[in-house]
Chains A and B, each alone.
Chain A
Amino acid sequence: MVKLRDIAHSRTGDKGNISNISVIAFDARDYPLLRAQVTAARVKAHFEGIVFGEVVRYELPNIAALNFVLDQALGGGVTRSLALDAHGKSLSSALLDLEIELPPDHDRGSA
């Protein structure tokens, strides 16, 4: 078991009350692992209490990346949120805390 942070990097963006979080494999060979384990349902569950809307996942195999779009995620919108991190910029770090199960033959180190 490793953290998502060991095999992928991530960046958060914001538009209105919608957050998007990319998850990008350091090594493209780990992209299938991301696809299999970092599902929209799992991301939605991970952000319970923060994200109140739908979570949609987009796949970008050419850059070994996933893009998650999280609706109703920013306290009503960046410009009116009461939150300390109104943009939700720190959400990417929370996602990198996800646990990932490596297959037995996985021989690549982390970043």
Chain B
Amino acid sequence: MRSIRIGSGAGYSGDRIEPAVELAEKGDIQYLVFECLGERTVALAQRARLKNPDDGFDPLLEARMRAVLPACAANGIRIVTNMGAANPWAAARKTAQIAASLGLPRLKIAAVTGDDVLEACRNRDLPLIEIDGTLKTLGNRVVSANAYLGAEPMAAALRAGADIVITGRASDPALFLAPMVEAFGWPMDDWDRLGRGTVAGHLLECAGQVTGGYFADPGFKDVAGLSRLGFPIGEVGEDGGLVITKVAGSGGEVSARSCKEQLLYEVHDPARYMQPDVVADFSRVTVEEIGPDRVRVSGGRGQPRPDTLKISVGYVDGYIGEGQMSYAGPGAEARARLALEIVRERLKLTKVEVGEWRFDLIGIDALHGARRSQGGAPYEVRLRVAGRTETLAEAVRIGDEVETLYTNGPAGGGGAFKSARDIVAVASVLLARELVAPQVRFVEA
């Protein structure tokens, strides 16, 4: 039976770069996928594109491509990535320049566009999912709307001979499903195969999270070699059978337990994992260790795809101002609490309008509230004040007021930090799939 090996070269936009080079050089892979596009990254990239029409793609595109292209070209490895962000076409042209500068001018580079559905959404008052309200309630604060595309346009680009496929918003598992659809010619209504391919894509999409990253707990779950964690390889058969593994000698572990954790990561109903190409069913998946760092994953299924596509809507949501300061030694907690009260009072006295507040003591109650504090006087405490404001000036005031604790607050406050940032938040709507028209375009050599 035919099979392919797909490497996962990044699990988020800022991920480590060398593990992908290791995969390209030693992984014996045919495809290398980079998943680099977070929920709100498209919205931020959209604003970059508005300032400069040649920008709006992933800021690490050049560093990643320069690092992996020589080995990928030498070993015939084809790349699929969503590093196009808000501007896949500009990213494709940029990649062509990089390839030429590396002496690799023959690489065929394709951009997948059409995920931008801002215009289609503007005229429709679609209900928001996950939070209350409709698109209209966000009004003119909306800055972007991008559909999660499926595997088809990426697979079409691969079929047309692309060595590198650059997309914008696409479902993360679909980046992995595309090479399977292309290599095996899976029909797009073979729901069980698409479901199994989605299991594979889901396990691979966060890169190191299935090979021992985001996992270690000393004494309970010990993992060796996290500083040189190996990224995963999926061996997929034409029936959708899957083995997860990694490059021999790299750090981390591929085990039944590491695969189980990742299988459920960001999953709600495991029997209905909604994707643009299929509703995948993880509920009867089994995992089996079949060798060192080799896990067989079986039992994925699928049901017909939904009629709608999920749309990620970016909108401007005011500003967040923040300030932090540390206290230590005897009475650290009491001085930090006094400092919080001073800041609270000062912001009221100086009439800073804040819609929502956080007053945290890091080390005591910042993550899960005071109820879980394990008692005992902490040696050091860091206060943190954060607030949501309508204007940047007011957000700046929050951090400034924390900083004035240096000379006006309790004794021994040190290590002030402040920030003020504008917030682009993300909401989701569902849009009929026939309103979304993906396109594939090749960079001319």
Q: Which residues of A contact B (CB under 8 A)?
A: 5, 9-11, 13-18, 20, 22, 24, 26, 48-50, 58, 60, 62-63, 65, 67, 69, 76-80, 82-85, 90-91, 94, 97, 110-111
Contact = CB atoms under 8 A, between A and B. Distances in A.
B67 interface: no
A9 B221 contact: yes
A79 B426 contact: yes
A79 B367 contact: no
15 contacts: A9-B220, A13-B267, A16-B427, A17-B130, A18-B268, A22-B260, A50-B368, A58-B269, A60-B285, A62-B299, A63-B287, A69-B269, A79-B424, A82-B320, A90-B367
Contacts of A14: 266
Contact of B367 (A10, A11, A69, A84): A84
Contact of A67 (B129, B264, B317): B264
A16 B388 contact: no
B217 A9 contact: yes
Contacts of A76: 131
A48 B215 CA distance: 26
Interface of B: 39-40, 129-131, 214-215, 217, 220-221, 257, 260-271, 282-287, 299, 317, 320, 356-358, 360, 362, 366-369, 371-372, 384, 386-388, 423-428
A90 B368 contact: yes
Contacts of B266: 13-15, 20
Contacts of A20: 264-268
Contacts, number: 122
Contacts of A90: 367-368
Contact of B360 (A63, A77, A84, A111): A84
Nearest to A62: B286
A17 B131 contact: yes
Given A20-B266, A50-B368, A77-B131, A82 B387 contact: yes
B366 A84 contact: yes
A77 B388 CA distance: 14
A49 B371 contact: yes
Given A9-B220, A15-B130, A69-B268, A63 B386 contact: no
A82 B286 CA distance: 38
A39 to B, nearest CB: 18
A94 B270 contact: no
Contacts of B367: 84-85, 90, 94
Contacts of A60: 264, 270, 282-283, 285
B368 A24 contact: no
A39 B120 CA distance: 43
A49 B264 contact: no
B260 A65 contact: yes
Contacts of A94: 367-368, 372
Given A26-B257, A62-B284, A83-B358, A50 B369 contact: yes
A62 B285 contact: yes
B130 A18 contact: yes
A17 B257 CA distance: 27
A84 B384 CA distance: 9
The interface centre, meaning the residue of A5, A77, A90 with most chain B CB atoms within 10 A of its CB, is A77
B131 A11 contact: no
B428 A16 contact: yes
Contacts of B286: 62-63
A75 B35 CA distance: 26
Contacts of B131: 16-17, 76-77
Contacts of A82: 320, 356-358, 386-388
Contacts of B360: 84
A62 B260 CA distance: 10
A111 B221 contact: yes
Nearest to A67: B264
Nearest to A66: B264
Contacts of A22: 260-261, 264-265
A67 B372 CA distance: 23
A98 B261 CA distance: 19
B358 A77 contact: no
A24 B261 contact: yes
A63 B285 contact: yes
A79 B260 contact: no
A22 B259 CA distance: 12
